[in-house]
């Protein structure tokens, strides 16, 4: 059992999302950075789709009633176990009575904490992800609160052996780590790769050029659905109302005011604003770390190029999975 | 029919250019054909007014035989092939659903905007809006949100340049030539002309929405008192 001593600013239970219900308008959602959540799960011996805790800006304080393995990935949070630093990107041993406390994110915005066995909440429409707008999934469809108790599934054999090794060596954490941002071919800092969207041709040439040349600044209008950016106004070649059609995470919508909205996994299923561009799936994670005033640039990539990045990331992740399984061989 | 990539994990299958019942029928039929048997790598199909979007996993597509550099072409060919030779599927008949709406006061902050651009009085807008029979073209945007077709042309009003950060649950809105109902509080750019006390999203039931694509809808004007009574009873 895990007792929530402090909930953090916005901590939710998330897995890899709730696909299959978009025809009812139910968002896919899930961990905003799927790669970070999957890596954290692999590091504690979980299935990659196990439920983790997603935190934003200020993390939770959690008291563990029994020893287990945890791992967190994502932004640079000030994380401590009983006042000692709790390192990122590796399996960490917690003992009964330990308090794992996440303070402020020093850089970036969000992190994902996996616990051996995965957070045990009911499956709703095939997923454990919290969908706050509809009050579904996770813990009663809401963010963590101060008095919550969390339970976890059974830890895997791998997890138990790593835990025993750490204990035998008197170590808190492993010396080795797996950093999600070394998996696949990450973008350069401050740059995300993006493809032209279905309505690319609707925009003026200066707008098309500005999109890939300008530096865009994150505004305060940012949540799990999307991030609104500020920069040069992007105009349509002629006024045109779009017929609502499906969108996806990463789609860059341009409302009439001309400022882009980059959609994140808790986006709506259908949208009515022209889709100027779409961020490469592997680079979308950068938008989950943007803070007010952070800047970012778009660099053009082809669909084939973006899919090559997806395939490369998948191959690298397979290598990580294999490497971890061989640790105990 | 045109197939266009929407980013690196979805394809738009375009079956028409306008919102009309004939395109709607094509979309519904294409959707049923594609959904009848799974296509390699396709994870989800979402119908809209003129499109069916096929979401896919490029890794699964490659595992199913797609050449790594030609996933889009490979999948497009399979989508076209399926639509050319559709499997037999059962037809489902839509229902008629009446939706009570209060068009008064704070429930209708944009009724004046719609009336002004239509050069009608608010009472005439309400009369026109309730007289019409609408078709549920799709459910999307938010859980249970029906996109309704059939809005009298004169009532069409452009979306707000900047969407509201919060639109209250039950709000009935007009966005361009579309009208619909917001089932839960969400950001949105449509002109709000009324509010219903009915719950449009019912997650414990299957299907989890009051309305499904293909249903017919009529609005009935109710007083503020009736709204409050129904809301309390709901």
Nearest CA-CA partner of A38 in A27, A61, A26, A54? A54
Q: Does B175 touch chain A (CB under 8 A)?
A: yes
Assigned domain for B44 exists: yes
- Which helix (H) or strand (E) element contains residue A33? none
Final residue in a domain of this structure, among B84, B118, B146: B84
Assigned domain for A164 exists: yes
Across the interface, of B58, B147, B187, the residue whose CB is closest to A310 is B58
A259 and A294 co-located in one domain: yes
State the best of B2, B3, B8 to mutate against chain A, taking most chain A CBs within 10 Å: B8
Average pLDDT over residues A128-151: 95
| CATH number for position A301 | 2.40.100.10
Taking the C-alpha atoms of B165, B168, B174 and B176 in order, what is their torsion angle to the nearest 10 degrees? 20
Query: Within 13 Å, how many C-alpha atoms sit on residue B27's CB side?
Result: 30
Which residue in the block uniquely carries the two structure tokens 């009574």? B229
- Look at A307 and B71 and tell me if their CB atoms are within 8 Å: yes
Is the predicted ipTM greater than 0.90, yes or no?
yes
CA distance B146 to chain A (A): 9
Regarding beta strands A275-279 and A191-196, do their DSSP bridges make them parallel or antiparallel, or are they unpaired?
Answer: antiparallel
- What is the residue range of B200's domain? 96-233
Final residue in a domain of this structure, among B84, B116, B139: B84
**pLDDT above 70: residue B27:** yes
**pLDDT above 70: residue A284:** yes
Final residue in a domain of this structure, among A128, A159, A182: A182
At residue B184 the predicted structure's pLDDT band, cuts being 50, 70 and 90, is: confident
- Which helix (H) or strand (E) element contains residue A205? helix A205-213
Q: Picking from A159-163, B47-51, B167-171, B185-189, which range would have the lowest pLDDT averaged per residue?
A: B185-189
**pLDDT above 70: residue A329:** no
Nearest CA-CA partner of B158 in A239, A328, A101? A239
Assigned domain for B136 exists: yes
- Number of domains into which chain A is organized: 2
Average pLDDT over residues A253-261: 96
Assigned domain for B91 exists: no
Q: Any idea what DSSP says for residue A238?
A: S
Q: Does B120 touch chain A (CB under 8 A)?
A: no
Q: Any idea what DSSP says for residue B158?
A: P
Report the share of chain A in percent with pLDDT over 70: 100
- Look at B8 and A256 and tell me if their CB atoms are within 8 Å: no
A22 and A121 co-located in one domain: yes
B116 and B221 co-located in one domain: yes
Regarding beta strands A191-196 and A295-300, do their DSSP bridges make them parallel or antiparallel, or are they unpaired?
Answer: parallel
Nearest CA in chain A to B205: A125
Across the interface, of B138, B158, B208, the residue whose CB is closest to A270 is B138
CA distance A103 to chain B (A): 29
A-chain residues near B147 (CB < 8 A): 244, 270
- What is the residue range of A215's domain? 191-315
Assigned domain for A321 exists: no
- Look at A310 and B184 and tell me if their CB atoms are within 8 Å: no
């Amino acid at each position: 059992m895990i007792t929530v001593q402090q909930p953090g600013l916005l901590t939710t239970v998330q897995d890899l999302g709730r696909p299959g219900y978009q025809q009812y308008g139910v968002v896919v959602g899930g961990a905003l950075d799927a790669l970070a959540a999957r890596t954290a799960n692999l590091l504690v011996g979980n299935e990659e789709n196990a439920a983790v805790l997603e935190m934003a800006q200020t993390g939770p304080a959690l008291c563990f009633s029994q020893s287990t393995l945890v791992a967190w990935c994502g932004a640079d949070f000030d994380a401590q176990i009983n006042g000692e630093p709790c390192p990122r990107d590796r399996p960490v041993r917690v003992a009964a009575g330990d308090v794992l406390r996440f303070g402020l994110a020093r850089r970036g915005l969000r992190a994902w904490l996996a616990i051996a066995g995965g957070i045990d909440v009911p499956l709703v429409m095939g997923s454990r992800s919290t969908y706050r707008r509809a009050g579904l999934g996770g813990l009663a469809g809401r963010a963590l609160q101060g008095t919550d108790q969390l339970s976890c599934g059974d830890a895997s054999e791998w997890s138990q052996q790593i835990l025993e090794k750490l204990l035998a060596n008197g170590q808190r954490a492993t010396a080795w780590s797996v950093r999600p941002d070394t998996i696949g071919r990450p973008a350069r800092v401050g740059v995300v790769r993006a493809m032209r969207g279905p309505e690319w041709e609707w925009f003026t040439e200066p707008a098309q050029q500005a999109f890939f040349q300008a530096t865009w600044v994150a505004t305060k209008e940012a949540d799990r659905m999307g991030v609104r950016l500020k920069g040069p106004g992007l105009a349509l070649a002629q006024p045109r109302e779009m017929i609502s059609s499906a969108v996806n995470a990463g789609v860059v919508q341009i409302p009439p005011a001309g400022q882009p909205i980059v959609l994140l996994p808790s986006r709506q299923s259908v949208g009515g604003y022209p889709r100027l561009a779409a961020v490469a799936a592997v680079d979308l994670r950068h938008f989950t770390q943007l803070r007010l005033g952070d800047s970012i640039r778009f660099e053009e990539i082809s669909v084939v190029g973006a899919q090559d990045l997806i395939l490369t990331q998948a191959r690298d992740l397979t290598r990580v999975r294999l490497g971890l399984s061989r640790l105990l061989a | 029919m045109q197939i266009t990539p929407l980013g690196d994990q979805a394809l738009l299958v375009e079956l028409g250019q306008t919102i009309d019942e004939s395109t709607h029928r094509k979309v519904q039929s294409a959707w049923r054909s594609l959904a009848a048997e799974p296509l390699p790598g396709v994870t989800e199909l979402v119908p809209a007014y003129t499109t069916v979007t096929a979401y896919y996993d490029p890794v699964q597509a490659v595992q199913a035989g797609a050449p790594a550099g030609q996933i889009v072409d490979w999948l497009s060919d399979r989508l076209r092939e399926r639509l050319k030779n559709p499997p037999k599927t059962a037809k489902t008949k839509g229902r008629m659903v009446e939706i009570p709406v209060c068009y008064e006061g704070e429930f209708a902050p944009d009724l004046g905007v719609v009336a002004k651009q239509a050069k009608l009085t608010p009472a005439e807008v309400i009369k026109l809006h309730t007289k019409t029979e609408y078709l549920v073209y799709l459910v999307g945007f938010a859980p249970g949100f029906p996109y309704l077709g059939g809005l009298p042309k004169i009532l069409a009003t452009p979306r707000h340049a900047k969407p509201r950060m919060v639109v209250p649950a039950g709000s009935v809105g007009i966005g361009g030539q579309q009208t619909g109902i917001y089932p839960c509080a969400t950001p949105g750019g449509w002109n709000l002309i009324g509010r219903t006390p009915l719950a449009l999203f019912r997650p414990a039931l299957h299907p989890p929405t009051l309305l499904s694509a293909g249903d017919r809808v009529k609005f009935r004007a109710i007083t503020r008192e009736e709204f409050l009574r129904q809301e309390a009873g709901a």
